[in-house]
Structure 1
Amino acid sequence: MTQQEKQVNYMGPFITMVFLFFIVGFLTTANTQFQGPLKETFLAEVGGLKNTFATLITFSWFLAYPVCGRVGSSWISKYGYKGTLMRGLLVMVAGLGLFFASSYFTVFFPEANWHAGGNVIPGGFFIFLLGSFVVGASATILQVVINPYLTACHVKGTQAIQRLAIGGSANSVGTTLAPYFVTGVVFGGLAMEDIRIDQLMIPFLVLIVVISLIVFLLMKLSLPDIQGTRIEKGEKLEKSIWSFRHLTLGVCAIFCYVGVEVCIGANINLYAIEMNYASPALMATLYWGGMLVGRLVGSSLSKISPRVQLVVTTVSAGALALLAILLNNPWLLTAVGLFHSIMWGAIFTLSVAHLGKYTSVASGVFMIGVVGGAILPLLQGILADVLGSWRWSWFIVLLGEIFMLYYALIGSRIRQTAD
């Protein structure tokens, strides 16, 4: 960053990015929370395939990350950071419109169903899956902007990983509030069996209005570009983005990180149920709560380098995972959230170091690794079935922590720069 850019006041843009990180976290979790209600409404006549079809909602969302990450980086080159943000939010409005259309279509065209054997699937459910992919695409594009912008914008008294931790804290607040929004606001606290499809329409219309208002406000805000972090329109890159070894291994590291994060968050309940614990849901709550606490703590660590933070957190998380396996104790896994909290920021900061004008393209490539959140939990479930227990399946988490430790110590060392 040049001396002139350091004199620009990035506090307003910084706050804007943190707020958008909140929106991404909120909608990501809200999307997963619709699995239960839609299982009872759209999929009431699906029979034995309810769980399979319900999980397609989350799969559709995560599928957008590897597919649309490069779209976001190419838009940054053409339209800049602000232009890409606005277009990403408009994509989000379109996706929310598809959510609304799925409910409308099912209510007013009840005979438009797809029959597979004895299973009846409303056509509106497939519209919802498309909406989930489109909103997931918008979240991908927003993160392609947010991550490098938070890394590069100069806010006095902070370093890049600290700004990403603050953004991550806002993201965690969004993930915490989303379940209450879905159950309390969208469905008014109704039991699953009392939910109707037509109740989905009004909340989605409200969200469309809110996001449209954010687009309007963003048009009025000053969001200065950050020179040297993206290629100019029409400019060609001399090197392949994959030629930067620390970035390529960073994508692998983020694949492991998101995968093991979701493994614990999504599957710890099933492990607790297998162990006959009285309150399995409490474990997931403590895990995600630890993520929020860890990010709040991480936002104050201005003197500790990303590499040191990643070494300490991966060693700690790996030790807890190993103890959980040896002692067959799921409670130990809840504490892993505290250490998972700042890994995203540490890995991203190390991955884009010294990439210069390749930074925005790298951010798009980085999103490919997020698909680990769909793949590793599925592999863990398969492994648990094969082994007949969830206990030994947590070796997947341990292996993920080991790879991230390797990345912190060796893989993140820079062998080639953009210069």
Structure 2
Amino acid sequence: MNQKRNQAKVVNVFTVFTVMLILYFIVGLFTVINQQFQIPLQTAMLPHDGNITNALVTMLNFSWFLAYPLSEGFGTRWLEKYGYRKTSFLALLILIAGLAIYEAAVLFHIYTPMQVTIIGNPISVGFFIFLIGSFVIGVAATILQVVLNLYLTVCQIGKTTALQRQMIGGTSNSIGMAIAPLVISYLIFHGTPLHDIVTKQFIIPLIVLILIMLIVTLFVGRIQMPSIGNVLQAPGENLDKSVWSFRNLKLGVWGIFFYVGIEVAVGANVNMYASELGGSFASNATHMAALYWGLLLLGRFLGSFIRRIPSEKQLVTASIGAIILLVLAMLTANPWVLTLIGFFHSIMWPAIFTLATDKLGKYTTKASGVLTMGVIGGGIIPLLQGIFADVMGGNWLWTWLLVIAGEAYILYYGLNGYKQH
């Protein structure tokens, strides 16, 4: 009898683990879909000769990632109060609401062409509604990240380590990221060059995405997820000290900030850089983004088999490799070189997360939420890059110095920042 119960429990754990991977895929897919909307929105809703166009269009990423520090707190509270299943279900409902706001923004732009003027640039009100939708979906992604990161860290699947499970989850996340540029280019806009997109092309694909996510949400609402002990604060239990007292966690938040910032900066803005250069670079901008995320996927897949190399050594090697490629890309003015950085970025998230939450015990839940705050870097660094590009007259070349600075911090964290004392 006990053997049958144990077998059922094992099957349940593997089933839920698979669902977690699907949700990780969804987070990755919508994160990059949001990023890849930059050029289509720039074409459809922003003035082509504006002097703040790059800054405005990178606000799309900023709105998405602004949700992380603003919503991670109640995401953690939901997880402690409702558990994994209900928290995931609520997050998916919020995601659907965000997609509906996207749709409303497009329809508003088409049928109510109101504009506001910013520094002499007429901007469609529909664009700002779209930014609100980006923020709302970012809230959903934040809550899902809190659930997923914690579950993959503490659940026991065979003989896998926490780092390996994070790598597997990252692989699923990267599959969504890798195919997102192709989904944008071929499924949503049917091969139309990004600079020729018209607003009406958004309408039907967004409706289809809403229907698909409704089906996924109903499925997640029906599955059973086992609770995992020893990582949640017991009801009424007072934690002995602040979660910020752990050095590896505190510096790890900055590690996540810079990592997500530079990951998104390359993935979202390599096509902006390619478009600025023109010629064959511009015509292959979507393929560059797909290659970057594809190499990140390949690296995470291969990294899931790594057992003996410590996380800190992986960080040092990866950050040095990324810095070398960035310098080479700037010297040659070749955005294709930037895509290769995806391979080195692949191991950074799971390595930083594992090092930052190492041996935190009952603080792990709150630590997971605190780490998620660092994801705001994905909005700030690309936005600064866009502002920098506008200041430079639309030239993106020197903006990659910001990414080099982020890589340098990751190198520091792998050398010293991860140490607890």
Q: How would you bin the TM-score normalised by the shorter chain?
A: 0.7 to 0.9
Over 3 Å counting, the alpha-carbon distance change for 1:135 and 1:269 in structure 2 is closer
RMSD: 3.2
How far apart are the structure 2 equivalents of 1:53 and 1:315?
Answer: 32
User: Which residue of 59, 67, 72 corresponds with 1:69?
Assistant: 72
Residue aligning to 2:353? 348
Q: Equivalent residue of 1:229, what SS? A: coil
Q: Equivalent residue of 2:45, what SS? A: coil
Q: Equivalent residue of 1:279, what SS? A: helix
Shift of 1:22: 0.6
User: Which residue of 84, 97, 102 corresponds with 1:99?
Assistant: 102
1:371 and 2:373 aligned = no
TM-score by length of 2: 0.85
User: Which residue of 405, 409, 420 corresponds with 1:414?
Assistant: 420
Native 8 Å contact 1:320 1:332 kept in 2: yes
Shift of 1:271: 6.1
| Structure 1, unpaired ranges of 5+ | none
Q: CA deviation digits over 1:104-129, x for unaligned, max 9?
A: 33444x25444558654443332221
Native 8 Å contact 2:26 2:173 kept in 1: yes
Shift of 1:161: 1.2
Identity in percent: 46
Greater mean deviation of Cα atoms: 339-348 or 71-80: 71-80
Over 3 Å counting, the alpha-carbon distance change for 1:102 and 1:46 in structure 2 is farther
Over 3 Å counting, the alpha-carbon distance change for 1:202 and 1:235 in structure 2 is farther
How far apart are the structure 1 equivalents of 2:153 and 2:195?
Answer: 46
User: Which residue of 295, 300, 304 corresponds with 1:295?
Assistant: 300
Residue aligning to 1:36? 39
How far apart are the structure 1 equivalents of 2:308 and 2:6?
Answer: 22
Q: Equivalent residue of 1:248, what SS? A: helix
Letter paired with 2:169? G
How far apart are the structure 2 equivalents of 1:310 and 1:111?
Answer: 48
Residue aligning to 1:228? 230
Native 8 Å contact 1:6 1:154 kept in 2: no
Shift of 1:136: 0.8
Map of 1:51-62 to 2, 5 A cutoff? 51-62=54-65
Letter paired with 1:264? V
Residue aligning to 2:172? 170
**Alignment coverage as a number of residue pairs:** 411
Shift of 1:249: 0.4
Residue aligning to 1:157? 159
Q: CA deviation digits over 1:22-74, x for unaligned, max 9?
A: 10111111112222222333336995554443322222111112211222112
How far apart are the structure 1 equivalents of 2:65 and 2:200?
Answer: 26
Shift of 1:162: 1.2
Residue aligning to 1:125? 127
Q: CA deviation digits over 1:126-145, x for unaligned, max 9?
A: 22211110001101110111
How far apart are the structure 2 equivalents of 1:180 and 1:275?
Answer: 21
Q: Equivalent residue of 1:158, what SS? A: coil
How far apart are the structure 2 equivalents of 1:378 and 1:45?
Answer: 18
How far apart are the structure 1 equivalents of 2:276 and 2:133?
Answer: 34
Shift of 1:293: 1.2
Over 3 Å counting, the alpha-carbon distance change for 1:206 and 1:121 in structure 2 is same
How far apart are the structure 1 equivalents of 2:44 and 2:389?
Answer: 29
How far apart are the structure 2 equivalents of 1:6 and 1:228?
Answer: 22
Shift of 1:178: 1.7
TM-score by length of 1: 0.86
Shift of 1:223: 1.1
User: Which residue of 308, 311, 315 corresponds with 2:316?
Assistant: 311
Residue aligning to 1:249? 251
Native 8 Å contact 2:91 2:140 kept in 1: yes
Shift of 1:191: 4.7
Native 8 Å contact 2:54 2:390 kept in 1: no
Shift of 1:316: 3.0
1:357 and 2:362 aligned = yes
Shift of 1:342: 0.9
Q: Equivalent residue of 2:58, what SS? A: helix
Letter paired with 2:156? H
Letter paired with 1:403? Y
How far apart are the structure 1 equivalents of 2:296 and 2:370?
Answer: 25
Shift of 1:261: 2.1
Letter paired with 1:24? V
Greater mean deviation of Cα atoms: 396-405 or 186-195: 186-195
Over 3 Å counting, the alpha-carbon distance change for 1:383 and 1:305 in structure 2 is same
